[in-house]
Structure 1
Amino acid sequence: MRQAALLVALVCVVAVPVAGAVGATGGQSAVQQDDLVTNGTEISIHLQPNGDARWNVSARYELDDENDTAAFGRVAERFKAGETDNGFSIGVFRAAAPQVSEQVGREMEIRDDHRTATQIDNANNSTGVLTLQFTWTNFTQVDNETLVVDSFAGSWFGDLRGGQTLTIRPPEGYDTQSVQPAHSTVGGAYQWVGPQAFEDGEPVAEFAVAGSGNSFTFDSVTMVLLGVGGAVVLLGGIVAWTYVRRQPPWSDTGDDELPASGEEAAAGATAGAAGSGTTSGDGGDAAIDPELLSDEERVERLLREHGGRMKQSKIVEETRWSTAKVSQLLSAMDDEGRIEKLRIGRENLISLPGEGVNDE
């Protein structure tokens, strides 16, 4: 744990005395002193794109009764006039700036200091707030579009005690690269609440302009992941489509049959069915569009193209129909006498009437 240098000084505002002469008796004076007890010290640092930082250091006091309110009124007047010297002075920061400047190698200046005092009225009591505001130039390191908070190097700042809060807010339009140590996030700012021990150089933080080359934040990571995911989905769709195109239809209805292959169209065969009274000569139906043939006619044409007989599995392969559809179709054609089925081992041999093995 580091020695609490600056914050020890700020703790001196815990008891703020307000003195005033109220009379004298017997040549002796009496001095009445009112003490206010702080409800906490808040340090807020708003970083600027040019490397400067706007500081707000505030002490809050609970005003429980009229005496507290009157005491705060007197403290507030002296505070705004710069007459108090209880560690809540701009001089504390001006004394620290040269040490920090030497640590980080940048010229620094404390300027534009301003003091305010406000009273916030609540339902049952009131709160008095004393605030010191100033600009600390070159507080952060500016590297192209990146701000690096490195000015807590050394032991000048110290650790947070109970009731003390430190808040660092990046500029608008900046994304967060890293913030250490562990912290809370409040309204886009990073906050530490005492008691909080800091290691040497902490807290440290880095911010980058949104959309810059250094800014690889949650949003950009999400976009990359979405892009990769979309590419994977697209590739999967292409593979699935290719696979489906190479598989036979699974429907058992004639509506699902695929167009005849180029080999079928080029071969040309006779149309018509056995027993239909339609016959053709060699190549007489070569010009018939395969799409105009019935399922039975396509089977008969295939059989003629293969010398009048085929294995059932070969018909499935040539037509690219499902096995179930071909089986049902051939059974119906066998019943009608349009083909003959012969079981040979584990295979069915399909032939046109008069072309079977038993007919030879």
Structure 2
Amino acid sequence: MRQAALLVAVVCLLAVPAAGAVGAPAAQSAALQEDPGSAASGVDVTVQIRPDGDARWTVSSKHPLEDENATAAFDQLRARFEAGETNSEFSADVFRAVAPSVSDRVDREMAIRDASRSSRVVDAGNNSTGVLTVEFTWTNFSRVEDDRLVVDAFSPTWFGDLSENQTLTVRTPDGYDTDEVEPGPDSISNGAYQWSGAQTFESGEPTVVFTEANPVVGVSVVAVAVVSIIALLAGGASVWAYYRGEPALSWLRRVRDRARPDDLGVGGESATEDADESEPATEAATGAAAGAGAAAASEPEEPEESGGVDPELLSDEERVERLLREHGGRMKQSEIVEETRWSTAKVSQLLSSMADDGRVEKLRIGRENLISLPGEGVDDGDGE
């Protein structure tokens, strides 16, 4: 079985001799060869998934620069590394070697392209770290299925597990939401899912499924905002009319009369005359109705149930809790996504936070999460 490519890259990098060094740098180079484990502080792998299924890989090895000798040795190493003069296999060639076997397993033609090398020194306070980086594009790394992207090319037979001081980060492609992540990542930040060593992956892991974002959601938000503004303006106009001493009912009727004169009778003039003649007779009734309305408005209102609160005034957690109560205390996670029209990533993060705070309970059933309010008896459920 082929050794994990990530581990091969690390071991080969740490064994790179810095030939030609003299004086103190030469002593540091010898130390790198004699005790390579002390030369690197970690390896970070970042995989940026693209909408066409390709992935841009960035593999970085970090080296602490604790003194001038270490800094001088790293300067020589980075110059040789960028020039391609080192004997290290810390390069895209490691991944070119495994791409054919991965291609056969997933039944997609793959290639490693646009490889490059770079280096830098990162200063943080009194500490400095030298970083060597290899970048390349791995074509067809994800499976494209209509509106979905499935990251299915990882495997323990070539990638292996993460050891201490190693990280793997998979970034969401532009225009996509996350539907599924296995196993659960150690951290999530701005659509990036990160696993930190030591981490053992099962067969086919990690796996991430992305779904194309629905642009209708954004349009719906705009439509709701417009309707809300119109409703506020209409309400404000009614209040203004009332406090001018003109009952809202009468004011609305006059607005209607001005907008639709022909609908009030057969012929414009006769209809107007009839309306004028009937005005004295109805004035008292209108005044009485207005007085009754004012009296009713002055009476204290009964407190509304929690379900009648404007959703815009609720926090995200409160909206989820109210949604669960409306559905008998339990819902599938996908149903919460559908009801709230939030992204799957936002719902996943929110529910995890609420579960940590004890506000909800999560139960994994197959490939779906069942979410329930505390004490709702998930174990006694119907197994949706």
**Does 2:36 correspond to 1:33?**
no
Give the Cα separation in 2 of the matches to 1:156 and 1:81: 27
For the residue of structure 2 that corresponds to 1:133, the secondary structure is strand
Give the Cα separation in 2 of the matches to 1:4 and 1:175: 33
| Alpha-carbon offset, residue 44 of structure 1 | 0.1
Moved more, 6-15 or 195-204: 6-15
Tell me if the contact between 1:145 and 1:212 (Cα under 8 Å) persists in the aligned partners: no
Structure 2 length-normalised TM: 0.51
**Does 2:16 correspond to 1:19?**
no
1:220-279, Cα deviation, whole Å (9 max, x unpaired): 9xx9xx9xxxxxxxxxxxxxxxxxxxxxxxxxxxxxxxxxxxxxxxxxxxxxxxxxxxxx
Structure 1 or 2: larger helix share?
A: 2
Tell me how many residue pairs correspond in the alignment.
219
Give the Cα separation in 2 of the matches to 1:146 and 1:112: 25
Tell me if the contact between 1:6 and 1:92 (Cα under 8 Å) persists in the aligned partners: yes
1:24-78, Cα deviation, whole Å (9 max, x unpaired): xxxxxx9972526111000000001111000000001110111111100111011
| Alpha-carbon offset, residue 5 of structure 1 | 1.4
Give the Cα separation in 2 of the matches to 1:123 and 1:31: 23
- Cα 1:38–1:31, aligned 2, differ >3 Å: closer, same or farther? closer
Structure 1 length-normalised TM: 0.55
Tell me if the contact between 1:3 and 1:159 (Cα under 8 Å) persists in the aligned partners: no
Aligned-pair RMSD on alpha carbons?
3.4
1:181-230, Cα deviation, whole Å (9 max, x unpaired): 010212320000000000011000110110179xxxxx89xx9xx9xxxx
- Cα 1:202–1:85, aligned 2, differ >3 Å: closer, same or farther? farther
- Cα 1:60–1:146, aligned 2, differ >3 Å: closer, same or farther? same
Tell me if the contact between 1:60 and 1:128 (Cα under 8 Å) persists in the aligned partners: yes
Equivalent position of 2:103 in the other structure: 101
Give the Cα separation in 1 of the matches to 2:162 and 2:14: 14
Give the Cα separation in 2 of the matches to 1:140 and 1:52: 6
Tell me if the contact between 2:161 and 2:199 (Cα under 8 Å) persists in the aligned partners: yes
Equivalent position of 2:202 in the other structure: 199
Give the Cα separation in 2 of the matches to 1:196 and 1:133: 23
Tell me if the contact between 2:28 and 2:73 (Cα under 8 Å) persists in the aligned partners: no
For the residue of structure 2 that corresponds to 1:99, the secondary structure is helix
Q: What amino acid is aligned across from residue 120 of structure 1 in structure 2?
A: V
For the residue of structure 2 that corresponds to 1:20, the secondary structure is coil
| Alpha-carbon offset, residue 143 of structure 1 | 1.0
| Alpha-carbon offset, residue 21 of structure 1 | 6.7
Equivalent position of 2:135 in the other structure: 133
Equivalent position of 2:181 in the other structure: 179
Give the Cα separation in 1 of the matches to 2:209 and 2:28: 52
Equivalent position of 2:308 in the other structure: none
| Alpha-carbon offset, residue 156 of structure 1 | 0.8
1:133-162, Cα deviation, whole Å (9 max, x unpaired): 000000001111211001014511100000
Structure 1 or 2: larger strand share?
A: 1
- Structure 1 stretches of 4+ with a deviation exceeding 6 A read none
Matched residues, percent identical? Answer: 50
Equivalent position of 1:151 in the other structure: 153
For the residue of structure 2 that corresponds to 1:73, the secondary structure is helix
Equivalent position of 2:172 in the other structure: 170
Aligned with 2:45 (options 39, 43, 46): 43
| Alpha-carbon offset, residue 4 of structure 1 | 5.4
Q: What amino acid is aligned across from residue 20 of structure 1 in structure 2?
A: G
| Alpha-carbon offset, residue 128 of structure 1 | 0.6
Matches within 5 A, 1:218-257: none
Give the Cα separation in 1 of the matches to 2:87 and 2:107: 30
Gapped runs of 5+ residues in structure 1?
A: 24-29, 214-218, 227-290, 292-360
